[in-house]
Amino acid sequence: MDSNATGNTAGNEAGDAAGGETGQVAVAGGGVGDRRALPVPDGLDGLRLDAVIARMFGLSRTAAAQLVDDGQASVDGTVRGRSDRVGAGEWLDVRLPPPPNPVRVAAEPVPGLLVIHDDDDIVVVSKPIGVAAHPAPGFTGPTVIGGLAAAGYRVATSGAAERQGVVHRLDVGTTGIMVVAKSERAYTALKRAFRDREVEKIYRALVQGHPDPSSGTVDAPIDRHPRKPGLFAVVAGGKPSVTHYDTEEAFRAASLLSVRLETGRTHQIRVHMSALRHPCVGDLAYGADPVLAGRLGLARQWLHAAQLSFAHPADGRKVTFTSPDPPDLAEAVAVLRRQS
């Protein structure tokens, strides 16, 4: 958020200084958006076009990339690709989408959302499949925050309205342990702990084949996929990302791993395992075999947040919370055991 704010300020100053143009135009997908034309600030020299647009106009990288893909951005009068590098002083012409409707938290019961622990500072849940951590534009399904609200739990008021109390997230298709802050001191302490890598996060992942070595560390930077919107990849110059894994059990076609995250990038385990050519079973977006997934009855990636350990915000004592494999993942492993 800080980088977006900084980029936005830099962009506005550059536009004011150069007499940047603004106006309203129709944009792809309907509605009316703003046209902005201004030079690229010195501080963004050499960055990717989608990154420059995201930082100058306060958009997410996904939204900025989609805008470029839709032909709503040009550099010096030429439509460029999202991964093209742009230089300071080049003239950027962007047609911004209309502002989205405000995202609101809907207090709706979430079947399968299990509260594991609750006290004055935190509530720990086991998140089921198909549930997002919090509301987001374009997502209309159930959320952890909405489910807690429906069950009468109050959460911290820190953070954006739709993300209040949220200190970390799990993918919609990933099940397992999540902690939500109820008090303001818990929100501050847990956000800092996750940022400083003081939280131990253990996942279980069933991956295709047999990683060699059977235990190891993947240290490879991750950024948005250069060609596939919504996905991520190992990319030179991406954010530092470190994943430690140990093989717990090997089957004929797959291996069950215990995975510890040193960093917490979006899709990190899925990206790193795919980069090793051992994608999570059922993770079709990252190259998994659909035949094996079908044979095991999996409709999503075999990935589960099994354990979370951290210093309790109230008194600093270490607390650990665990979640067993959900039925669909447990059954897939049972099938492999019977066939091995």
Q: Is 242 exposed, middle or buried (0-12, 13-18, 19+ CB in 10 A)?
A: middle
Distance CA 200, CA 339 (A): 34
**Among the residues of 19-78, which ranges form H helices?**
49-57, 61-69
Question: Which residues form the catalytic set?
Answer: 171
Amino acid at 251: F
β 175-181/303-311 pair status: parallel
- Give me 242's structure tokens: 């470190």
Residue 140, C-beta contacts closer than 8 angstroms, at least 6 positions apart: none
C-alpha 312/C-alpha 206 separation (Å) is 30
Are the CB atoms for 171 and 264 separated by under 8 Å? Answer: no
Over the range 249-266, which residues count as b (16 or more CB within 10 Å of their CB) and which as e?
Answer: ebbebbbbbbbebbeebb
SS3 call for 292: helix
User: Which residues, 6 or more positions from 276, have their beta carbon under 8 angstroms from its beta carbon?
Assistant: 211, 218
Tokens of 240: 């530092």
Task: Return the bridge partners of 134, or none.
Answer: none
In three-state secondary structure terms, 91 is strand
The span from the CA of 285 to the CA of 296, in Å, is 17
Please state, in angstroms and rounded to a whole number, the distance separating the CA atoms of residues 182 and 199.
Answer: 18
Is the preceding omega at residue 41 within 30 degrees of 0, hence cis? no
